[in-house]
Every structure is written in C-alpha cells, then in structure tokens.
C-alpha cells in the first residue's frame, strides 16, 4: 500500500491570484493526501480544498489571519504510510535551515514547508528530507509557478516530482 501526495504552499488566493490553476486541482483531486504548507489568505480556498481533497493535512502561514487560528495549527505532525511528517510554513533563513530543522523537528523524517515561494529539496545533516513546493500562483524570482507530487510507500519517500506550471 502506498500513498500519493500533492504538496502545495503559498497559494495566496485571492490576494495574488483569483484561483488555482486547473493542473493543481487535478493533482489535488487525484491524490490520496494533500498537504498545504500555509499562506492560503482566504478561508474559501481552505473550504474548497476540504471539499476536493480525499484527505487534507494543512497548517496556517504568516499571511493567514486570525480566522485561521481555530481551523489550522502552525505545525502538524503525522505519520503517513510509515513516514513521520512535519508540516510547517516557515523554517527561517536559508542559511542554517537544515540544522534548525534537525533541532526543531527531531521526530520527523520528512519536513514539508513553504513561505519562500522557492522550491527546495535537501537533506539535513541528520538525514531528514526537506521539501518546499514553491508556489502555484506567485513565482516571485523563480522561472515558473510550481507544486510537488510524491509517493509515501512503507516508510520511504519516492517519486518526488516538481511540477512547473505554464506562465500566463
């Protein structure tokens, strides 16, 4: 048994985009688990994710107002298909990120985060994988808007794909 995962963050709807691209919704609807690492910006988008996703694991970000406080935590820790996950919006500056992650999430094997809008895929000194999907709506200084899909399979992370969305 394996679990397909769609990972998104920094959707910023409706502030930076009116809606998510169709390719993201297709990935959300087909995944066994959807992880959103914060900065939704509007509760209607959270409601739509809850309707469309089979299972949603999500946190709130620094741009999510107090209306999110009762709905989403700042950090979520779950074990999915034998992989211990930590989901958080911010991990701090790029410099020292992996060492901070080892300290802040000692029980996690896979740390999923957002905030920077910059895709990230590294391994910490203690062997924790860190993934940031970038943003499907606001590419900032990146060449593309992005999101990630992956598979969790009996304690392993495999098939990690960074999806590049076309520019409008």
Fold for 2-165, please state it: Purple Acid Phosphatase; chain A, domain 2 (3.60.21)
pLDDT band (50, 70, 90) for residue 168: low
Strands 120-123 vs 145-153: parallel, antiparallel or unpaired: unpaired
Residue 99 confidence class, pLDDT cut points 50, 70, 90: very high
Sign, CA torsion 82/75/40/95: negative
Mean predicted confidence (pLDDT) in 140-168: 94
Instruction: Give the pLDDT confidence score for residue 16 in this predicted structure.
Output: 85
**Is residue 151 helix, strand or coil?**
strand
Q: Are 90 and 115 in contact (CB under 8 A)?
A: yes
- How far apart are the C-alpha atoms of 78 and 133, rounded to whole Å? 19
pTM for the structure as a whole: 0.97
Report residue 115 CA to chain centroid gap. 10
Domain boundaries, given as residue ranges, for the chain: 2-165
Q: Please, what is the average pLDDT of the chain?
A: 96
């Amino acid at each position: 048994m394996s679990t397909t995962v769609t990972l998104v963050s920094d959707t910023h709807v409706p502030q930076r985009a009116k809606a998510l691209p169709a390719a993201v919704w297709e990935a959300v609807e087909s995944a066994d688990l959807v992880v959103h690492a914060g900065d939704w910006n509007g509760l209607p988008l959270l409601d739509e994710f809850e309707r469309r996703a089979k299972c949603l694991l999500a946190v709130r970000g620094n741009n999510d107002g107090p209306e999110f406080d009762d709905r989403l935590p700042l950090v979520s820790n779950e074990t999915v298909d034998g992989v211990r996950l930590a989901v958080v919006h911010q991990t701090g500056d790029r410099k020292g990120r992996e060492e901070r992650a080892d300290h802040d999430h000692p029980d996690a094997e896979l740390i999923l985060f957002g905030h920077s809008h910059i895709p990230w895929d590294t391994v910490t000194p203690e062997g924790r994988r860190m993934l940031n999907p970038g943003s499907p709506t606001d590419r900032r200084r990146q060449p593309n808007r992005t999101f990630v899909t992956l598979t969790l399979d009996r304690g392993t992370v495999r098939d990690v794909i960074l999806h590049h969305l076309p520019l409008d």
